[in-house]
A and B are shown apart, each in its own frame.
Chain A
Amino acid sequence: MTTTPPDQLLCWADDALITAQWLAAWCARAPELEEDVALTNIALDQLGVARLLLSYAAEQLTPDAVPAAPADQPVTEDTLAFLRSDQEFRNCLLVELPDDDYAVTIGKLLFLAAYQVRLYAVLSAGTDQRLAAIAGKAAKESAYHLDHARLWTLRLGDGTEESHRRMQHAVDELWPYTYELVAPVPGSGLADLRSDWLATVGPILAEATLAAPGGGWRPGGGRLGRHTEHLSYLLAEMQVVHRAHPGARW
């Protein structure tokens, strides 16, 4: 039975954790009540997967792996979520970009879910049984997330002139980041999922009367800890209570 190293687990865990944090920010602010409930439910699924992966990574780490962690306590999921600095996070850049428009939220979710569906299918068939169990469960949830994002992409892309314009703008802005999203995480030896991913995303964009951009730049570095400033602000908010009150419990 193989064990997946923490460096790889953190890439997938952080994608899910940062996504959960952004989605949760729509709580009580979504365009309609049903969507408020939907986005927070999806956030909860992502958080659940993040916790399972972070716990798995944490069990393999000692406190010296996290500079801000107390040296006399074991590393837990909380250590990894709340005491790592921005440069210690391994999420791809796509998930940390700000949701400054609802179309961006839907675009990010569409791209991420299309990737997670494929990724979890691969991991659930892998030799690491613990990871396979986590992925097998997450795959079912991701399929539902993908379907939700698909329906909204169709509604916005093939909706009004304004909704089409904003959805297309979101796709154009986010597209460069999808190269890093689907690339195999360092050390994993997994195949590049881009063609599989395109086979999912391409028909959805076409049906939504949206154009898939080509060429352009390909920002990256998230898997190595080089992030945009957006992550730093997000972490400041996510971690502030834990850092201000170390060891506090409900």
Chain B
Amino acid sequence: MVTGSPATAGGASSATGVDSSAAGGAGSAARAAVEAVVDPEIRVLTIAELGILRAVEVTEATGAVRVTITPTYSGCPAMELIRAEIRAALHRSGFTDVAVVTELAPAWSTDWITEAGRHKLAAVGIVPPAPAATGPVPVPLAVRCPACGSPRTEQLSRFGATACKALWRCQDCTEPFEQMKAF
């Protein structure tokens, strides 16, 4: 185990959006740098598109940057690396005073993956998640094969190579593929 930034509870300032308290120059530069950080496990998505970036706040007087992120899953092993890459991205953009904090509430949902993010997932053959279940009885929707479009698919495993994906196979073209689980 490696001790990272202590998790802090409390209400998030924004569920999916990114706040930048400083108008113009420093604020937008910091925000752009952080938004471009790529998720280490699904490398086609940025952390902004994945919906795990909560806020980027810049104190204009000092140039200090405070970034708030949230984990996809409690045990997500990529969080340490994501923190390090946020710091590195900000350092490259000239920000040296950087704090990355983790916020758990409200809990991340796949509904926070942006439209652009969903298109990018689909483009690399990862089926984007269905809307997260809200009622007591989730109704599973047909999952279409990303290779041939057939709805005749079967789930091979409810868990995949990362915590957020499940493994499927197409019964028509037999291609195996991944789906991001609605969560």
CB pair A81 B1 closer than 8 Å: yes
The CA-CA distance from A129 to B73 in the complex, in Å, is 19
CB pair B104 A52 closer than 8 Å: yes
The CA-CA distance from A57 to B113 in the complex, in Å, is 33
Chain B residues lying within 8 Å of A141, measured Cβ to Cβ, are 73-74
Listed stretches B88-96, B114-122, B152-160; interface member: B152-160
A132 within 8 A of B: yes
By CB atoms of chain B within 10 A, which of A77, A137, A138 has the most? A137
Chain B residues lying within 8 Å of A44, measured Cβ to Cβ, are 73, 75, 77, 163
Chain A residues lying within 8 Å of B6, measured Cβ to Cβ, are 55, 59
CB pair B157 A37 closer than 8 Å: yes
CB pair A48 B76 closer than 8 Å: yes
CB interface residues, A 1-60, toward B, < 8 Å? 34, 37-38, 41-42, 44-49, 51-52, 55-56, 59
The CA-CA distance from A153 to B50 in the complex, in Å, is 34
The verdict on A77 contacting B73 (CB below 8 Å), with A34-B157, A38-B157 known, is no
Chain A residues lying within 8 Å of B73, measured Cβ to Cβ, are 44-45, 48, 141
B3 within 8 A of A: yes
CB pair B74 A34 closer than 8 Å: no
A134 within 8 A of B: yes
CB pair A77 B9 closer than 8 Å: no
The CA-CA distance from A189 to B25 in the complex, in Å, is 52
The CA-CA distance from A90 to B158 in the complex, in Å, is 31
The CA-CA distance from A37 to B1 in the complex, in Å, is 21
What's the dominant secondary structure at chain A's contact region? helix
Q: Which residue in chain B gives the minimum CB-CB distance to A46?
A: B75
Chain A residues lying within 8 Å of B183, measured Cβ to Cβ, are 140, 144
CB pair B9 A49 closer than 8 Å: no
Q: Which residue in chain A gives the minimum CB-CB distance to B8?
A: A130
What is the distance, in angstroms, from A18's C-beta to the closest C-beta of chain B?
A: 15
**Total number of B residues with any Cβ neighbor in A under 8 Å:** 30
The verdict on A140 contacting B1 (CB below 8 Å), with A34-B156, A38-B158, A41-B163 known, is no
CB interface residues, B 76-90, toward A, < 8 Å? 76-77
The CA-CA distance from A140 to B107 in the complex, in Å, is 9
CB pair B159 A34 closer than 8 Å: yes
The CA-CA distance from A138 to B73 in the complex, in Å, is 8
CB pair B163 A133 closer than 8 Å: no
The CA-CA distance from A41 to B107 in the complex, in Å, is 18
B7 within 8 A of A: yes
CB pair A133 B10 closer than 8 Å: yes
What is the distance, in angstroms, from B124's C-beta to the closest C-beta of chain A?
A: 20
CB interface residues, A 96-122, toward B, < 8 Å? none
B106 within 8 A of A: yes
The CA-CA distance from A134 to B6 in the complex, in Å, is 12
* A 123-167 binary contact with B (CB < 8 Å = 1; else 0): 000000111111011101100100110000000000000000000
What is the distance, in angstroms, from B180's C-beta to the closest C-beta of chain A?
A: 14
Q: Which residue in chain B gives the minimum CB-CB distance to A82?
A: B1
17 contacts between A and B (CB under 8 A): A37-B167, A38-B158, A44-B163, A45-B75, A49-B75, A81-B1, A130-B7, A130-B10, A131-B9, A132-B9, A134-B9, A137-B104, A138-B74, A144-B158, A144-B181, A249-B2, A250-B2
**Across chains A and B, which 4 residue pairs bring their CB atoms closest together, nearest first?**
A48-B75, A48-B74, A34-B157, A133-B9
